[in-house]
Structure 1
Amino acid sequence: MKIYTLSIMQNIFGKIRYYSPMTQVVLVGLVCFFCPGMYNALNGMGGGGQVDRTTGNNANTALYCTFIVFGILGGSIVNLCGVRWTIAVSGLSYALYSGSYIYLNHTGNGAFTIAAGGLLGVGAGILWAAQGMIMVSYPREEEKGKYIAVFWVIFNLGGMLGGILPFAINYHSESNSLSDSVYIAFIVLESLGAVLGLALAPPSKVTRSDGSSVVLVKYTSARKEALEILKLFLNPTILALIPMCFTSNFFYSYQFGPVNASIFNIRTRGFNNIFYWGAQMVGAYFLSFLLDNQHMTRRKRGLYAFVIVAVFFNAIWGGTLKQQLKYTHGPLPSGEPTDYPGGLIDFLEHKRAAGPIILYTLYGLGDALYQNLAYWIIGSLTNDNQKLSRYAGFYKGIQSLGNTVAWQLDAKNVSYMNQLIGNWVLLGISLFPMLYVILTLKDHSEDISVPEKVAEGADDKLSIETA
């Protein structure tokens, strides 16, 4: 483990080359640190940090409705338009969304926030397709777990920082909504992330440490991309992964709303998010040891990781059931307080707070285990960058379909217990086809033929094949 840790640190800090795959993964991790990371922190407050979660839930529904479409189309858009500008422009949609809550604070009108959520879905779908392609196609096969872990650690540092901001700024606040200053801090950081997207290198110039090129560029077309997207829905392996994709973020609405926003006060919600996103980093880091272990076949690594995920998730949902039996609702817009025994929990109430905070932290660990395994499975299907950009977009698109349903369940005031049961059942359903795909994995992904001719003038396009 010590040697593995040193290897990671040397990759990041030892011989820093701008055109190396690790540098590019670190850069895209920093973009996601500032953009999706801040969004995750804001979303983790429940209802965007508002007392009334209705607007936040509806904004998330609008977000994930457009995310479904642009997640699936995202890979092709990136293939046609390139990485840098698509990521930079997409990043600005996160700043717009955070800014919409300042308007909501002063007017009480949620229309702008809901519209901004829809626009964010467009940007997020494209950004995550590009991110997924870079993360799982740039590394060698035996390093994919490590690259996913490096990205996940940097990305979730953003969630941790985003938890510290509301915790610190609202430490002495009696309000149960976030102040304008918190939203302004998010806007500044997300704008910085968008600009950072321009620092990414053109994919055609990225080379590995042995001097081999990551990609060769060739022309694509809108017609070809449309056909390739349609083929995804005819691919038996991709179809088998739909339950995994659908479930992979479904639990966010329950964890952030019926749990974090319903039994903790505003400053403790931010405090919880520091540990939630911190636990994500820990989970990703340690799972990478198993996923990249070259002493085992790829199938065996996948099976061991699958068992860890299955057992861990069922254990934390069992603990959640025990907690959920204590209450039925959080603070209501009418002013009625939560019916959780003793009222809202403050982190300084050590006896009351310890168990629920630990459970909430384990949610973050479980999320990282599930999603890192999901990305590893997708990255194990092929080394073709074009396909992986579409696979990553498909994953995020179907994931967003699940999110759309989940956020509307909370918006429609479906009972907390029914939301919990729904999450647990969906998890169980997703495990069987995930296991089937793992059992079909080969030790080496399909070989990609090198094109006879490399197109000129397409440096920043992701219409690519592996060299």
Structure 2
Amino acid sequence: MSPEGKKLLNIIILGFGFMFMFTAFQTCGNIEQTVIKSFNSTEFHGSGYTSMAIIYGVFSASNLIAPSVVAVIGPQLSMFFSGLLYSLYIAMFIYPYTWSFYTASVLVGIAAAVLWTAQGNVLTINSTDSTIGRNSGIFWALLQFSLFFGNLYIYCAWHGHVHITDKDRQTVFISLTVISLVGCFLFFLLRKPDSEFSEKIPSGVLTSAVLSAVKSCKLFITREMLLLGVSIGYTGLELTFYSGVYGTCIGAMMRFGQDAKSLIGISGICIGVGEILGGSVFGILNKRIGFGRNPIVLLGFVTHIIAFYLIFLNIASDAPLAPEEGTDLEAFITPSVGVALFCSFLLGLGDSCFNTQLLSIIGFMFHDNSAPAFAVFKFIQSIMAALAFYYSNYLLLHWQLLILVVVGFLGTITFFKVEHMASSSRRQSDYDSI
């Protein structure tokens, strides 16, 4: 196989590994708050929103050490062991206890930092300046198939269920645990390209770890990364909204009838369709159709603004905080399942616009320091996601939407600025010395 063919195969394997893992994990995140509300055990007092806030908070802090871990044990083993901790978190829901729930949340936060730093490293090392956009799109599209398969399973398993029984929960989470483990073992199929997986690092474990940590700190305070930080922060906020809050809102709407809980799965599928479409068109085909990054990010912002406005009109403001039986309130129009699912599609499409272009521009601008750069990317994204999951415990829907609109606008403007800087100077020498 040619070197380019080997690199493309690595990207495809990487995408399938993440697809299996996040078929399990994203489905878990989408349904866990609804599942927790249905627990019969008086010994469990956890909150899905709080768990996710812990995960992303620890995720954020762990990004400071993640490049060191990847440098020491390599990206392949980093992704495998991180994947095992993801599987542990999912398996915890089979027989949940408050202490194990929050302990697993801490562990998966650490695993997430290592996993995504290693992923960014593998993506960059297997790409060139001319293929980074295509490879980002391939990876993103494969990853987002996870939303389709996992949520289709939830819809079929929970169709017509008003209350989620212990048996329903256990069946779903045993299946999700097995699916996650399949993704972990797929990482062993990755082959080393002609260039090594990780950047050139000096010999010695301690030296490698320290150097990677120093690089992350230096990259964090560069002008380009500080500006991109606003865009990255927005993806963290809207990740929280579409992956945890919006599905809970749909499941809480009593006006959607007895199928409201199963609609969480359909909503996830619609998000996945939007993600896959965006990843395919704006990642894989972008070079052929020549859009450039700015118009795609602008499309993502406009798409999200439309979605937020329709959600504001369609979903009751107290839906994120409603008890298990749901809310009987209306917003400004008669609640429509069709509008709710259309908004799910728009949320996925807009998210893919932002993320494929952020992966592309970071892989291009920080090609020789990809592991530290992607660690900073995930540090910013995860700390904002943790903040959003925290305030989701308290804020009504319309306040959450207002925050998304303001930060999304600022993130779009700052992305335009960085893209202009990248277009003005395509040399990498400024970053090689970091």
Is the 2:125–2:198 contact (alpha carbons within 8 Å) kept by the matching residues of 1?
A: no
Change (3 A) 1:399 1:215: closer
- 2:317 and 2:398 in contact (8 A); partners too: no
Partner of residue 170, structure 1: 158
Q: Partner of 2:256 in structure 1?
A: none
User: Does residue 406 in structure 1 map to residue 388 in structure 2?
Assistant: yes
Q: What is the correspondence of 1:209-248 to structure 2 with a 5 Å cutoff?
A: 217-220=200-203, 221-248=208-235
Question: Which residue identity does 1:153 align to in structure 2?
Answer: A
Q: Which amino acid aligns with 2:419?
A: I
Aligned with 2:104: secondary structure? Answer: helix
SS of 2:395's equivalent in the other structure is: coil
Cα distance change on mapping 1:329 and 1:174 into 2, 3 Å: closer
Q: Compute the displacement of 1:161 (Å).
A: 1.3
SS for the counterpart of 1:266 is: coil
2:172 aligns with one of 169, 182, 199: 182
Residue of structure 1 equivalent to 2:359: 375
The residue aligned with 2:326 is: 337
Pairs within 5 Å for 1:50-449: 50-51=36-37, 55-104=47-96, 109-176=97-164, 179-202=169-192, 206-207=193-194, 217-220=200-203, 221-264=208-251, 265-288=260-283, 291-293=286-288, 301-324=292-315, 326-329=316-319, 332-333=322-323, 336-341=325-330, 352-384=336-368, 387-411=369-393, 413-442=394-423, 444-446=426-428
Shift of residue 32 of structure 1?
0.7
CA distance in 2, matches of 1:430, 1:388: 22
Amino acid at match of 2:376: F
Quote the offset at 1:45 in angstroms: 2.5
Please list the CA deviations of residues 140-183 of structure 1 after superposition, one character each: whole Å capped at 9, or x if unmatched: 21222211111112111122111122212222433246521100
Q: Deviations over 1:16-51 (max 9, x none)?
A: 989711111111112211213321122123526432
The offset of 1:67, in angstroms, is 0.4
The match for 2:22 is 36
Give structure 1 stretches of 5+ with no counterpart. Answer: 1-14, 346-350, 451-464
How do 1:6-17 residues align onto structure 2 when only pairs under 5 Å count?
A: none
Q: Secondary structure at the match of 1:248?
A: helix
Query: Quick one: which amino acid aligns to residue 94 of structure 1?
Result: Y
- Contact between 1:47 and 1:54, CA under 8 Å: does it hold in 2? no
Give the corresponding residue for 2:13.
Answer: 27
Partner Cα distance (1:252, 1:54) in 2: 21
Label 1:215 to 1:112 Cα distance change in 2 as closer, same or farther (>3 A). Answer: closer
Secondary structure, counterpart of 2:149 in structure 1: helix
User: Is the Cα–Cα contact under 8 Å of residues 158 and 261 in structure 2 kept in the other structure?
Assistant: yes
- Equivalent position of 2:41 in the other structure: none
- Contact kept, 8 Å, 1:60 with 1:114, in 2: the verdict is no
Give the Cα–Cα distance (whole angstroms) in 2 for the partners of residues 449 and 356 of structure 1: 44
Q: Unmatched 5+ residue regions in structure 2?
A: 39-44, 252-259
Report the Cα distance in structure 2 between the residues aligned to 1:48 and 1:95, rounded to whole angstroms.
20
* Number of matched pairs: 411
Identify the range of structure 1 (430-439 vs 281-290) with the bigger mean alpha-carbon deviation: 281-290
| Greater displacement, 63-72 / 219-228 | 219-228
Letter in 2 for 1:225: S
Q: Secondary structure at the match of 1:129?
A: helix
TM-aligned CA distance change 1:213 to 1:246, over 3 Å: closer
Equivalent position amino acid for 2:137 in 1: A
How far 1:258 sits from its partner (Å)? 4.4
Q: Which amino acid aligns with 1:161?
A: F
- Decide which moves more: 213-222 or 146-155: 213-222
8 Å Cα contact 1:132-1:389 kept in structure 2: yes
Please report how far the alpha carbon of residue 395 of structure 1 lies from its aligned counterpart in structure 2 after TM superposition: 0.5
CA contact (8 A) 1:41 1:160 kept: no
1:227 and 1:260, CA in 2 relative to 1: closer, same or farther beyond 3 A? closer
Q: Is the 8 A contact 1:17 1:23 kept in 2?
A: no
**Matching residue's letter, 1:393:** A
* TM-score between the two structures when normalised by the length of structure 1: 0.80
Note the C-alpha offset of 1:389.
Answer: 1.1
Deviation at 1:273, TM superposition (A): 1.0
Are the counterparts in 2 of residues 45 and 256 from structure 1 also a CA contact under 8 Å?
no
- What is the one-letter code of the residue matched to 2:127? P
- Percent identical pairs in the alignment equals 18
Q: 1:84 to 1:122 in 2, by over 3 A?
A: same
